[in-house]
Amino acid sequence: MKRTTIAAGTGKVPGPLRGIIPMLLLTLLVLALAVPAVVAITPAFTGGNGQGGTAAATPPWQQLPTTLAAGNGSGAGVEQLSGAAPIPDPGTLAAQLNATLKTDGAGSFTGVVQDAATGELLFDRSGDEARVPASNMKLLTAGAALRTLGPDRRFSTRVLAGAAPGTVVLAGGGDVLLAEGESAPDAVLGRAGLATLAQQTVRALQQDGAAGPLTILLDDSLFTGPALNPAWSLEDVAAGEMAPLFPLALNSARFNPAKTTGPRPQDAAMSAAEAFAAQLSAAGAPAGLTVAPGVARVPGGADATAQDARVLAEVQSATVGQQVDLLLRTSDNYLTEVMGRMTALAVDKPASNDGAVAAVLQKLDELDVDTATLRAADVSGLALANEVSARQLSEVVRAITSGPDTRLRAALAGFPVAGLTGTLGDRYTDESTARGAGLVRAKTGTLNTVIALSGYVVDADGRLLVFSFIGNGLTPGAANKTALDRTASVLAGCGCR
């Protein structure tokens, strides 16, 4: 999403400590993430130390480690907290949150805090009021994709034998994280590479005794409807917040994987097809295979990509779980919209914007999230016409952390970590937010007059809390992100009894 530069909060961490604290927090993060499966972490979210009286100033699970823990081979990875951890007192909690959840200038904040285990509402400031959620909309799409596709699903990009001799068809299957070079099995962006696809294609053609020149066709017909949502601002598209959607692309429709801002290719599928043609030409040259210049799309009604077409080569994407992690951590609009369309296909809806919206809403209903007041114009949050309440977002986070569908647990690691990763990596750096650094995990959302923060945190008593805070009508450039970060930090440090 678009970000606005805001004034930093007061009380900066002293210079000598600014280098030390991030390293210590990174050690804490490594410790916390050194778990073979996120599901193994989840039982620890529902408890605490179970002791009455005043909580210790810094409970053991929030202390910075001095050494890395060695694995015990059990697969547990994290010591479970007691299920007797006290739930914060709503009145005490509200007093603290109301002191920090204040706008800088115009607009207002709504917010909800719930106990993850029981769903008890601990804080409610107009929590059912529908508001523009910005990129917090991605939480809804992430949950729907994991519930529908499953975290282990992969998308295939294939090369098929065309109907005419010497013709090959590059068929997009939903992977927009393709790399131009060789496949990188351990990567998410670039797990499937066009150079590897080209090499496989050459081997298959050699076995067939094929000779050049080869003609390359592109089949990007998997998606339907307009490639650009009319609810998106053309200024945002021009700035690179979004691009026309296709079922295959390089680098999530970026010219350079290392540059995630600025204009995007306007025909990402053709750009990928032209890159494949270049790789096929290079791979085929030693075998005497040449490639005719130019790439054309498969003509409408052609049988080149019929279901019985022979597959010459295939590369597969990173898993849906890994892609959800990426889209949450980096707030990738393009990848999120593609994930919505792939979710729509899986529930027999058109792979269009309308189909994606309908599929996400259907899955929210299945999760018992009340969608009566929810309005969705897209599934990434770029559209200002979206309307979602803090309560609805909090319930989605609760479904991810504690709900009965354990497939949603795959999203947990994708939430940015305060002061360390993703869109929260450069926040929580001053005294007013420091107690949330390394502890708050939340999805950010930013438009010109909108900010939002929804996520989860284990408080000082060891209780897992889920929350959502949304600001609308805000003064652009004001210090409202800091207000949200201070508020989430209150939850991290809360022994609110």
For residue 259, indicate whether it is catalytic: no
For residue 2, indicate whether it is catalytic: no
Q: Pick the catalytic residue: 135, 352, 389, 454?
A: 135
Q: Pick the catalytic residue: 183, 271, 331, 402?
A: 331
Phi, psi angles (nearest 5°) of residue 206: -60, -40
Distance (Å) of CA 397 to CA 142, 343, 385, 488: 10, 19, 22, 14
Within 10 angstroms of residue 148's Cβ, the number of other Cβ atoms is 22
Specify whether the CB–CB gap between 425 and 367 falls below 8 A.
Answer: no
Q: Pick the catalytic residue: 2, 138, 363, 481?
A: 138
Helix (H), strand (E), coil (C) string for the chain: CCCCCCCCCCCECCHHHHHHHHHHHHHHHHHHHCCCCHHHCHHHHHCECCCCCCCCCCCHHHCCCCCCCCCCCCCCCCCCCECCCCCCCHHHHHHHHHHHCCCCCCCEEEEEEEECCCCCEEEEECCCCCECCHHHHHHHHHHHHHHHHCCCCCCEEEEEECCCCCEEEEECCCEEEEECCCCCCCCCCCCCEHHHHHHHHHHHHHHHCCCCCEEEEEECCCCCCCCCCCCCCHHHHHHCCCCCCCCEEECCCCCCCCCCCCCCCCCHHHHHHHHHHHHHHHHHHHHCCCEEEEEEECCCCCCCCCCCCCEEEEEECCCHHHHHHHHHHHCCHHHHHHHHHHHHHHCCCCCCHHHHHHHHHHHHHHCCCCCCCCECCCCCCCCCCCEECHHHHHHHHHHHHHCCCHHHHHHHHHCCECCCCHHHCCCCCECCCHHHCCCCEEEEEEECCEEEEEEEEECCCCCEEEEEEEEECCCCCCCHHHHHHHHHHHHHCCCCC
Within 10 angstroms of residue 15's Cβ, the number of other Cβ atoms is 7
Distance (Å) of CA 280 to CA 83, 86, 273, 277: 58, 62, 10, 5
Adjacency order of strands within the sheet including 464-472 = 121-125, 108-115, 464-472, 450-458, 441-447
For residue 138, indicate whether it is catalytic: yes
Specify whether the CB–CB gap between 381 and 236 falls below 8 A.
Answer: no
Q: Catalytic site residues? A: 135, 138, 331
